Structure formats: structure tokens, C-alpha cells
Chain A
């Protein structure tokens, strides 16, 4: 655990130092993944189906707000669908606009959630989304999840029926429209997923905000169970042919990802809870303070005392108890605690020495004895 905490601190430290370059790079990768999925799955407009364009758009997205990734993905998908069928493109545009007008105004700050919903749905692991969103975001993000699920379902329908749409002539325009609309309106699996995911987000959010121990872990478990139960009920009610094994595996993966998020965002030490009670003129306060799990970075710096190399430096254990000797200063850094300790010049012998906590206590004991003498 200590090693993990050290690694986490190092990661956070590196991120803070290099944020100005890491954030655009991550945004570039995310945009590239999203646009590659859209372009790779569709690619009906050959002029747009090239890596260069995706790279340029991704590069632009790395310096633009996250909403532009969604915008470019929508435009790219529209263009590909237009190349496949004008009627389907019109319906797609209308549905995009409905999603934008009805849902997106509630979740304009949650573009990342929408992007991840589409990416994870494309990777067949959308179950991670509600658990993680409930943990790190607010229930408003459920609208972004809904937009993502509907958007992905629409694209998926077009992709899986591309051949059929292509072979249908202009005379079958209505059939093409029905195909796309039916995939959304009559799709019970989508409906069940929307309900289950929305409910799960609310459950996870409410439980993780409770003032109980291990709230995040309990929230994850409660969310996973609620999600699974709702999916199973939906499967029984509407016969959605959902893969129960896949859902269970997906939820286990969601729990694992949730634990990773917990480790980075909410790592606290329940073994050191402090319950404090105090009062002022108006209130009594019952405060539960839980310390964050932190670990000191394992760097130990010892300041060189002098340039002499006389004598045997040795370890602080082997102290020559001669009080007449001049004292100099060793500055030791153990994690965040900087301490000054006095020791004999011969102890260091002009060499750098590494002083552990135990040795420090021995040095303290040594000088206490000296003072007594």
C-alpha cells in the first residue's frame, strides 16, 4: 500500500509539474480515439476517411474546449451518414438537434462524460460509466450519459445496417428512416440501459455523499447491484437478450475502475478517524475528521557538514562520546518533515550520511546524555 501511495504521489507531482503539456496531450488522445471510432466504423465518405484529417481535428481539439470533440464527432458522423443516405442523414441531424436542445443544456459542462460513454459503449464496456460518473460527478451528468447512449446506438444502427441502407434504392427512403427511428424508439435494450444507468448514477452519488465509513466502496457496490438488478428486471420484462455474464463482468470491471478512482480521489485512512465535539454560542458541533492517506516521498537529504574526510564516518550508532567536539548540523528530510539534528563533526566525517528515524532517536538520546553529563 505504501508503495502504491508513493506512486500516486509521484504521479500527482508529475502531473502538476507538467499539466500544461499533459492536458493537451490527453485531450488529443481522447479526441483521436473518439474521431477514430466514428471514422473507422463508418468511413462512407472517402474524402473524409483519412488519418490525416482525424489527426488535424484531434490536434485542434487538444487546444479547444471538450465540447468541440463532441461537435467534431457529430459533424464527422453526419458527413459519413450523408454519403450513405440523405434520408438517414436528415433523421440523424434531427435527433442530434433534439438531444442538444432537450438534454445537453443540462450537462454542458459534462462533455467528457458523453465522450467516454460513446468510447466505452464502442468497447462494449459501458457499465463502467454510471459507477464512475456517480463517484466523481453529479447527477446532472446522467443527461450526458443518455446523450452518449442514444448517439452511440444511432451510429451503431447505421453501421450494422449500412449494407442494407446502401442497397435500398431511393424508393425505399421511408424504410431507411423507419430503420433508424425504430432502432431508437422500439429499442427496449436502450431504454432499459438508460433507466438503469440513470438510476445507478443517482444511487452511487447519494450513497458516496453519506457520512458513513467506506462510503465510496459501499456506493460502488450499491451502484453495481442496483445496475445489475435493473438490467435483469429489464431483461425479464422486455426480453432484451442481454448477456448476463457480460453485464456481471462489466460491473466487476466497473468496480475495479471505481477503486482506482477512489484511490486517486478519495484515499482516506479510516483507522485514524477522530470524532470531535465542541460548541460555540449558537451550535454544538459533532465533527468526524478522517485523515487522508498520505505517505512521505522517500527522499532523504543529508546536508554535507564539512569537507574534511578525516576519520571513519560510520553510522550514528558508533558515536564517539566526546562532548568537547564541535557540533555541526545535519539537516534531514524524511518526507515532508524537515528536522534539524545536531551531531558531531566526526560522526559525519565530512561524508554524506543517510540518517534513518531510529538513528535520529539514538542521536537525540546521545545528546541528552551529554547534556546530563
Chain B
């Protein structure tokens, strides 16, 4: 005979596995430290690339001025400024990444916990039946 409660539970589990669960399971494979470190690393890479693009646009923007004053420019000071902006940008971007992915990690863990609770419940239903 059909056990309605069991079917509801199984549907819930299947829907979770197919939708939100897919993303959460990927998060659940990591320890918190590993997960956040991985994203911080990605942030450093993508942030560096984005910063280089921004510097490229800046250079194009001021190309005429730079060419006109090429011999009088203090390249060391310019490099220091660029590095300083780079560090500020990466720290700010890293902080946003840290907060964002920490929240996402906890949310995913909560979802997975609920999923496993439902699995246990389903398992106990099978035991009861047998």
C-alpha cells in the first residue's frame, strides 16, 4: 500500500537533490577553511586580472599625458601607488568574498543537515515497514 508520508518525504528529498541541493552538496564536500580559502584564492586571481584590466584602461585614458611627460615621470612613485591601490582593492574584495562565502557555506550546511535528517527519517520508515 502507498505510504503517503514516505512519498512526500521522498519527493522533498528528490526536489532538494535536483535543485538547491546540487549546489549545496558541492559546498558540503569542503571544510569551512578549505572552502573559504579556495574562494579567496579565486578572488586573488580574478581580482588581479580585473585590476590589470583597470590599469590598462587607466593607461589608455592617460596615454597622451604619459607620453608627453615620459621623461619627467617618477616611475617608482607610480609603481608604489599602483601596488598600494592593488593591495587596498584586494583586501576590500577579499573581505567581501570572505563574508559572502562564509554566509553561503553556513546556509549550505544548514540545508544539507536538514536533508540528512529527512534521509534518516526515511530510513527509519523503511525499518518500521520491514
Contact = CB atoms under 8 A, between A and B. Distances in A.
Nearest to B48: A101
Interface of B: 42, 46-47, 49-50, 53-54, 56-57, 60-61, 63-64, 93, 96, 100
A63 B43 CA distance: 31
Nearest to A182: B61
Interface residues of A, number: 16
B61 A98 contact: no
Contacts of B93: 102
B60 A177 contact: yes
A79 B100 CA distance: 34
A105 interface: yes
A102 B96 CA distance: 11
Contacts of A174: 60-61, 63-64
A174 B64 CA distance: 8
Q: Interface majority SS on B: helix, strand, loop or mixed? A: helix
A105 B101 CA distance: 11
B60 A97 contact: no
Contact of A106 (B47, B57, B60, B100): B100
A165 to B, nearest CB: 15
A174 B63 CA distance: 8
Contacts of A90: 60
Contacts of A5: none
A105 B61 contact: no
A190 B9 CA distance: 48
B47 A102 contact: yes
Given A95-B57, A178-B61, A140 B100 contact: yes
A178 B63 CA distance: 10
Contacts of A95: 57
Interface of A: 87, 90-91, 94-95, 97-98, 101-102, 105-106, 140, 174, 177-178, 181
B50 A97 contact: yes
A202 to B, nearest CB: 13
A105 B60 contact: no
B69 to A, nearest CB: 15
30 contacts: A87-B60, A90-B60, A91-B57, A91-B60, A94-B53, A94-B54, A94-B56, A94-B57, A97-B50, A97-B53, A98-B50, A98-B53, A98-B54, A101-B46, A101-B50, A101-B53, A102-B46, A102-B47, A102-B50, A102-B93, A105-B42, A105-B46, A106-B100, A140-B100, A174-B60, A174-B61, A174-B63, A177-B61, A181-B57, A181-B61
Contacts of A91: 57, 60
A17 to B, nearest CB: 18
Given A98-B50, A101-B49, A102-B47, 19 more contacts: A87-B60, A90-B60, A91-B57, A91-B60, A94-B53, A94-B56, A94-B57, A95-B57, A98-B53, A98-B54, A102-B46, A105-B42, A105-B46, A106-B100, A174-B60, A177-B57, A177-B61, A181-B57, A181-B61
A91 B53 CA distance: 9
Nearest to A177: B60
A358 to B, nearest CB: 33
Contacts of A177: 57, 60-61
Nearest to B54: A98
